[in-house]
Amino acid sequence: MRSLLKSQLCNAPEQTLHHVLSSCQVSFHLVWRHDNILFALRDSTLKLGPAWDTQSTLFETGTLSYMTSTNTIPPDILPTTCRPDLTAIDRVQRKIHIMELTCPWDSAESFNNAQERKSDRYGPLIGDLSDIGWEVDFITVEIGVRGIIAPDNLPSNPLQMELWINKDGGVLELPDTGVSSKIPPGALEKDQLIQMRIIPYNFQGDSDLSFSSNSSIVVELLPSNLQLLKPVKLIATAWFSRKGVNGKQRYTVAIR
């Protein structure tokens, strides 16, 4: 998406969607998005148990979180200027989890570049910790500016999938669910990572995902606000029960 006008936030020659969401150094959204995703990731590390000490570069005020100058590698473990976004430390077993979050543009190139850049930056730190007897688990997390999660960060889940689709189109199909998306040739301007997942109506974060037991479903396609040049067909099969008779009905919806 292009604009003939200069950016209203900075002096960039064009105010493109790519620039505003992932490149503009004036936009508050860059920091806000990164830090609030990191806030959610930090909360998830609390489930590791009381033996783990979680360190992050965040502090909270109200519903927002902000970066601080906190050292996430305690100096008594290793004096260093490196400040990973998030660490979880077990001093008894001498184990440390290090997580680095990046929110780049939603593309394979951006995801790969972010992963390589962070791996190169923290490689020496991992080596130094290993040399003094620490077991290090390092992970980079890439979540795109429009909600796409890098494929390497996705858990194995029979109710979701992702596929790179080019101008020739393609089909995303979740096996044994009756749910698929058919993207025709010419629907996309360029290569795009498309993610599709089923959200059962009774889904809860700690429950096991299942499909056959649900009579109604929500199908989510990402990234949001994807520009389609041609309609995409979403095909879903829903189960029903009428007057003691069980069956299923196939539905086709055009997404524009």
- Residue 156 has what pLDDT? 65
Pick from 179, 254, 252: which is nearest to 212 by CA?
A: 179
- Residue 149 has what pLDDT? 83
Task: Report the relative pairing of strands 232-242 and 217-222 from DSSP bridges.
Answer: unpaired
- Residue 12 has what pLDDT? 66
- Residue 126 has what pLDDT? 95
The count of residues in the chain is: 256
Please name the residue ranges forming H helices in the chain.
17-22, 29-45, 108-131
Residue 36 sits at the vertex; the CA angle it makes with 85 and 115, to the nearest 5 degrees, is 45
Q: What is the distance between the alpha carbons of residues 52 and 44, in angstroms, rounded to a whole number? A: 12
- Residue 60 has what pLDDT? 45
Three state DSSP letters for 17-59: HHHHHHCCCCCCHHHHHHHHHHHHHHHHHHHHCCCCEEEECEE
Tens-level pLDDT at each residue, the chain (256 residues): 444 455 566 766 667 777 777 777 766 667 788 888 888 888 777 666 666 677 776 544 444 434 444 678 888 899 999 989 888 888 888 989 899 999 888 888 888 899 999 999 999 999 999 999 999 999 999 988 888 888 777 766 667 788 888 889 999 888 877 888 999 999 998 888 888 887 754 443 444 444 444 445 678 888 877 888 999 988 887 665 556 666 666 767 777 7
- Residue 113 has what pLDDT? 92
pTM, rounded to two decimals:
0.58
Q: Are 186 and 228 in contact (CB under 8 A)?
A: no
- Residue 20 has what pLDDT? 73
- Residue 157 has what pLDDT? 66
Domains of the chain: 17-151 (no CATH), 157-255 (2.60.220.30)
